[in-house]
């Protein structure tokens, strides 16, 4: 009888991270299952050795759901726990869960990055749902022995990125003056290629079992530094205008953009020492190259 080749099942395979992950796994000739629904088929017991769960109701700035927390819980908690229960029952060896840095909190004091040892402090419905899913998954892992790996990334950027990062890229590429020259902050980001590489390591490395990891590029930057790096990648001059932070805050409050300004001016740093030491992982792509790849096709 021919041996069954263990496969990796990826949920959320059509998303921003999922598309890149599937491409990389196929490059590595990894047998894949890409279900349209969050299900482990019981007639394929033994086929799937690892589930990489990316599918989620993602964070949105202006949620229109009548009860946002309930909407997030339905997808990010209930469906995730149900999938993990099916996986454990089907004999899946390892469950890799893409959580969020927002589980740790929204900001860090200067030079005090988040670590895996920090007490979770989720603040919005999305982050709360991710933290609740982590807790549900740990219970299943404890009861069944299925290995669990939790990954908490900060903002992910790469070719095809959307939302605020894409808007900032367009502003830089079009030469708009940006009143952020006086910002003095530090933020951690993670390039799509680095995150994909880290997910693959977490799916395969023996030492990743039953661990939680923070991940980033390992190159924290201020917002002005990021804008200058974007400009270099796009081949345009950076147009940074010094503007008093207090005045900028007042203006942001007036136009209801306080949250956006906080992301551009606040601190959010991630310590990836555990990933380096436990897994021997080093981000394979540096920030300059990662940003250059963002501009391979001009953002629309």
Catalytically active residues, by annotation:
126
Name the residue among 277, 138, 119, 113 with its Cα closest to residue 208: 277
CA distance 78 to 133: 8
Task: Please state, in angstroms and as integers, the Cα–Cα distance from residue 201 to each residue in 34, 64, 70, 101, 130, following that order.
Answer: 19, 37, 33, 19, 22
Q: How many helices (H) does the chain have, and how many strands (E)? A: 11, 8
Task: Please state, in angstroms and as integers, the Cα–Cα distance from residue 217 to each residue in 232, 237, 264, following that order.
Answer: 18, 24, 18
Who contacts 91 (Cβ-Cβ below 8 Å, separation ≥6)? 45, 46
Return the DSSP state at 228.
H
Name the residue with tokens 């740990």.
138
Residue 48's DSSP bridge partners are 7
CA distance 246 to 168: 21
Name the residue among 258, 293, 273, 287 with its Cα closest to residue 106: 258
């Amino acid at each position: 009888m021919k041996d069954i080749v263990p496969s990796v099942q990826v949920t959320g395979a059509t998303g921003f991270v999922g598309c890149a992950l599937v491409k990389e796994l196929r490059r590595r000739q990894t047998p894949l299952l890409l279900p349209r629904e969050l299900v482990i088929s019981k007639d394929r017991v033994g086929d799937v050795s690892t589930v990489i769960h990316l599918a989620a109701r993602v964070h949105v700035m202006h949620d229109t759901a009548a009860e946002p927390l309930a909407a997030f819980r339905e997808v990010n908690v209930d469906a995730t726990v149900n999938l993990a229960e099916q996986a454990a029952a089907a004999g899946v060896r390892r469950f890799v869960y893409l959580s969020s840095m927002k589980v740790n909190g929204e900001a860090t004091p200067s030079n005090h990055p988040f670590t895996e040892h920090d007490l979770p402090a989720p603040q919005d419905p999305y982050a709360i749902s991710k933290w609740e899913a982590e807790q549900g998954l740990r219970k299943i892992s404890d009861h069944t022995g299925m290995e669990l790996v939790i990954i908490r990334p900060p903002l992910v950027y790469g070719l095809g990125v959307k939302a605020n990062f894409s808007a900032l890229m367009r502003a830089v590429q079009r030469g708009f003056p940006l009143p952020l020259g006086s910002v003095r902050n530090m933020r951690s980001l993670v390039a799509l290629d680095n995150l994909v590489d880290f997910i693959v390591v977490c799916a395969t490395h023996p030492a990743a079992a039953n661990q939680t990891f923070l991940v980033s590029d390992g190159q924290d930057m201020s917002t002005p530094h990021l804008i200058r790096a974007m400009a270099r990648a796009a081949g345009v001059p950076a147009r940074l205008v010094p503007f008093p932070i207090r005045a900028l805050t007042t203006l942001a409050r007036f136009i209801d953009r306080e949250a956006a300004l906080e992301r551009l001016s606040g601190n959010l740093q991630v310590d990836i020492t555990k990933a380096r030491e436990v897994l021997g992982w080093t981000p394979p792509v540096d920030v300059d190259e990662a940003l250059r790849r963002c501009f391979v096709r001009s953002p629309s």
